[in-house]
Amino acid sequence: MDIRERDSVARVLEEQRPSVVFHLAAETHVDRSLDDPAPFVAHNIEGTFQLLEAVRGYWGRLSASERAGFRFVHVSTDEVFGSLGSEGLFVPESPYDPSSPYSASKAAADHLVMAWHRSYGLPALVCHPTNTYGPFQFPEKLIPLMIIKVLSGDPLPVYGEGLNRRSWLFVEDHVDALRAAAERGEPGGRYLIGPAQDHSNLEVVEFLCDLLDRHAKDLPKRPSRNLITFVADRPGHDWRYAVDRKATEAALGWRARRDLASGLEKTVRWYLENRSWWQDILERRYRGERLGQPVTPAQDGGKLGRDGTVDAAR
C-alpha cells in the first residue's frame, strides 16, 4: 500500500499489533530525485507525516506497559549531513546540509520524526546508515547495475573520474543494526551505522569487474574493466560520506561483520545465481537507465586516460 494512506496503515497496525515499526519506505535514488523531485517530496515527507500520525494514534491506544516498550525506528541516511572533505567523519551532532532533493526530503522526514518524539512523546529514534548493498537490491543502484551491465557487455557509467568516496554497509549488517536499535536504542537517539572504511566509486566498480571476471562464465567482454566509461558528473554530487560508528557500537553493542571484499563476493555470487529475479525486473519495470552523458577526451582536456565510467553511490 501507499504509506500516505493513513487509514489503511492504521488498519494494518490494529490487525498486526506491532511493538516496533521500522520505517524504511522511501524514494531513495539521487539521480531520479534530480530528474523528478515530486515523488520524493510526496512519499518521503508527506508519507512520513501520514505514517507518524497513524502510528501515533495506534501507540496512544496501547496499554501503559505496551507504550513504554514500543519503538518507531526511522531509517534515514548519512546523506542528510552533506559532504565531507578528504578528512573527518559525520557524528550524531553533525549539522544537516543536504545537497539533493533526495537528501533534503530525507532530512525533512528526520525532523518530522524528532518533532513527533518531542511534541507527542512518540518513542522514536533515527538511524543514519551508509550505502547499503547486497542480494535483492533494485538494479538502479550502483552495485547491482554494474554487475548486470558487465554480464551484458554494456558500458559501465561512472560519474566524473570516479573519485567520490562512500562507506558500504552489507545488508545483513544493516538489518542487525536496526534490530539492535529497536532493542537497545533510546527514544530520541540518533545512531550512525556503517563500516570503518570508505572507498572511491571507481575502486568499487573495479573490484566488481575483477570478481565477475573470476566468477562469471561466458562474459561478452573481458577484462571487464575495459567497459568502464566516465560520464559527466551529476549536479550537487557530494564528495565523501563517512560516519563515526564508535558511539553506535558502544550504545547498541553492534559492529559491521563484513568488509567490502567479502560482502561484494557474496553479492556477486547471488546475482549470478539469481538471474531470473533481476531479469524479470529489467523486462517489466526498469531498463537500466542512468542519467549523465559520456565524457570525451576533448571535453575533459584529455585528463581521462581510459574510455570508461563509474557511477555515484546512490
Question: Any idea which residues carry the catalytic annotation?
Answer: 78-79, 102
Alpha carbon distance 44, 13 (integer Å) = 20
Alpha carbon distance 71, 52 (integer Å) = 12
Q: Which helix (H) or strand (E) holds 73?
A: strand 71-75
Amino acid present at 200: S
C-alpha cell at 28: 531513495
How many residues are there in the chain? 314
Could you tell me whether strands 20-23 and 71-75 are parallel, antiparallel, or unpaired per DSSP bridges? Answer: parallel
26-62 core/surface letters (b: 16 or more CB in 10 A; e: else): bbbbbbbbbeebeebbebbbbbbbbbbebbbebbeee
Q: What residues have CB less than 8 Å from 255, skipping those under 6 apart?
A: 245, 249
Nearest by Cα to 39 from 83, 78, 3, 13: 3
C-alpha cell at 71: 519503538
Residue 6: alpha-carbon gap to chain centroid: 25
DSSP annotation of 90 = B
